[in-house]
Amino acid sequence: MSSVSITVVGVGAVGGLIAAHLCQVPENVTSLAVRTAFERLILERDDTLLEAQPRVMTDPDQAQPADWILLSTKAYDSKAASEWFERCSHEGTRLAVIQNGVDHVERLSRWFPRERILPVMVDCPVERVSPGHVRQRGPVVLKFPATAPGRSFGSLFAGTEVNCEAVDDFVSVIWWKLCLNSAGVVNALTLKPSGIAHDPHAARLMRKIVEETAAVGRAEGAQLDSGIADEVIGIYRNHPADSVNSLHADRLAGRPMEIDLRNGIIVKLGLRHGIPTPYNEMAVELLRIA
């Protein structure tokens, strides 16, 4: 099998997770575009470690054209990350966008040809320990459109423990993920990890937030089960009690938060469809004040 060149732009929690698994495939020639250089990439999971020493770059001038660019920065860093695209691209390069939100292609088409953008949904509890060191807290699931580029993307992880699934209805998949993410605003507001979902008052707030999200998602064409709020609360309760989602982690660290792409987009689209979203609106305003 011929080699495939890959540049991962943004190696935080999700980027580190993805890059570490990519590095386990001999055919992958994986490079990392980062802000802070490190010598080794370490993925900690259960009682085992995955280690790799991919090429680490801190300046776009160090980059070479790649077959795939995997963008895994926070969405608010997309513009800065786009500085890598030209140096990392040839005429056939594809961009896999592994970010939160439901508008991957629309957002990134400002900086990359729309027809070569692949949106990807990632589901895995993972935390960044330090530069180049991440902790995986559960199985890794990647879902993407069932197209030729999607299947090509999935093949990058052949032989790894990453569960790749090409789906016909990506709209429903990405809105399911937003339902999951939307509930995490309760963690960010209370500064309490996943275990807070066992509290009946927190669970009630999560339920209301997810129900609003699902209503907007259905108006956008997503097929979402009526019991999705119970499903989401169950997922949070099954996570390690001390697990911290990215919105919570960003607030703890004093970093910008992806509130506009998580709960904010629900409020925005709810207004478009005439669907009230008071719980999401309250959460957005409280986080903005905070």
CB 241 within 8 A of CB 193: yes
Catalytic residues: 177
25 burial type by CB count under 10 A (0-12 exposed, 13-18 middle, 19+ buried): buried
CA 251 to the chain's CA centroid: 17
Which contiguous run of DSSP H or E holds residue 97? strand 94-97
H runs (alpha helix) in the chain? 13-22, 78-81, 85-88, 104-108, 148-155, 170-183, 185-190, 200-219, 228-238, 246-253, 265-273, 278-289
The neighbour count for residue 146, using CB atoms within 10 Å, is: 14
Quote the DSSP letter at residue 260. Answer: I
* Residue from 76, 259, 180, 247 nearest 268 by CA: 259
Tell me, rounded to whole angstroms, the distance of Cα 25 from its chain centroid. Answer: 22
Cα separation, 121 vs 102, whole angstroms = 9
